[in-house]
Structure 1
Amino acid sequence: MSYKIPESVLVVIHTPDLQVLLLERADRPGFWQSVTGSLDTPDEPVALTAAREVAEETGIVAADHQLADWQHAIDYEIYPQWRHRYAPGVTRNTEHWFGLRVAQPVPVTLAPREHLQWQWLPWREAAARCFSSSNAEAVLQLGWRVQGLHTACGAGS
């Protein structure tokens, strides 16, 4: 068995007016998230991972839009239900955050083994729908990253 590398990306796909794409996990119905995925090899550039995961999970070609490395990474504890995917003893993951700006909500082609459905939501509503608090925080950061609003840590207009 090959184990997942405990380094990954999270890509918040959004429009200029801050509509955010969320995907419902196939292995956990009701769990909504942005695009996420692990590096394929330890030396894979994280921007390449981000573009690859976007294409695999949504059919969207990142090069046709504006992919931005947010230069932000978090370290978090891997949820117990997913630890079996990693080498024995691995309990933490480093996640690099990206934004992908598309001109307008675009249709999505899901990877059926990974996701059940997709939806575009206003950013605050999308943040509230995310099952992961770190994913919710990434979506909330759109306000200050894109429009200069003060939204970090849930504050803002």
Structure 2
Amino acid sequence: MQLKRAESVLVVIRDERKQVLIMQRDDDANFWQSVTGTIEVGEIPLNAAYRELAEETGIAMPKSTHPILDCRLMNQYKIRPIWLYRYPPGTEFNNEYVFCVKVPAGLPIVLTEHTDFNWTSKQEAIQRVWSKTNRDAIAQFVPD
């Protein structure tokens, strides 16, 4: 297994009806989240956001018509102990760059790394997602 870099993206997805997409991780049924993923070597965070959005949901929107917004926020959080083996020895914290995107309602979702998904209200998404940084991003960047 190749070790992960401690830099990732978080992409909050909402549709035209102000519904937020959340997905259930396949390795933890209680862990719901927005799109997340490691930034690859040589990749800029915005390109990682587009790549992860397409990989995890099947949503590949043209940048010209559906741009992903850089929220200009970088979170640093302590990596869950059960995931530390995925990172180089001594790594404790991850830097997470936050993005959001508005997509048309009714887009088909193709899951590759999750077992389920839901389009929910902003408040329900805040209640259901596992991580504090994900809750905060939804609260801050999804309009009421």
TM-score by length of 2: 0.93
Say whether the 8 Å CA contact 1:18–1:142 is kept in structure 2.
no
Q: Output the CA distance in 1 between the equivalents of 2:114 and 2:104.
A: 23
Partner of 1:154: none
Q: If the length of structure 1 is used for normalisation, what is the TM-score?
A: 0.85
Query: CA separation in 1, counterparts of 2:129 and 2:50?
Result: 21
Letter in structure 2 aligned against 1:32: W
Q: Is the 8 A contact 1:105 1:120 kept in 2?
A: no
Shift of 1:2: 1.9
* Alpha-carbon contact 1:21-1:121 (below 8 Å) kept: yes
Equivalent position of 1:24 in the other structure: 24
Secondary structure (helix, strand or coil) at the match of 1:62 reads coil
Aligned position for 1:102 = 103
* 8 Å contact kept, 1:24–1:32: yes
Deviations 1:11-31 (A, max 9, x none): 000023321000000000121
Alpha carbons 1:54, 1:62 under 8 Å: kept? no
Q: Comparing both chains, which one has the higher relative contact order based on Cα–Cα distances under 8 Å and sequence gaps of 6 or more?
A: 2
CA distance in 2, matches of 1:104, 1:82: 34
Q: Which residue of 1 aligns with 2:68?
A: 67
Partner of 1:141: 140
| CA RMSD after TM alignment | 1.4
Query: Is 1:128–2:101 an aligned residue pair?
Result: no
Q: Once superposed, which parts of structure 1, at least 4 consecutive aligned residues long, lie more than 3 Å away?
A: none
CA distance in 2, matches of 1:11, 1:105: 18
Counterpart for residue 83 of structure 1: 84
Aligned to 2:54: 55
Unaligned runs of 5+ in 1: 150-157
Separation in structure 2 between the aligned mates of residue 58 and residue 121 of structure 1, nearest angstrom: 16
1:73-121 Cα deviation digits (max 9, x unpaired): 011111111111000000100000000110214220000xx20011100
> For the residues of structure 1 that align with 2:115 and 2:75, how far apart are their CA atoms?
27
Q: What is the CA-CA distance between 1:56 and the residue it aligns to?
A: 0.6
Cα deviation, residue 62, structure 1? 3.4
Query: Percent of aligned positions with the same letter in both sequences?
Result: 40
Distance 1:7 1:30 in 2: 23
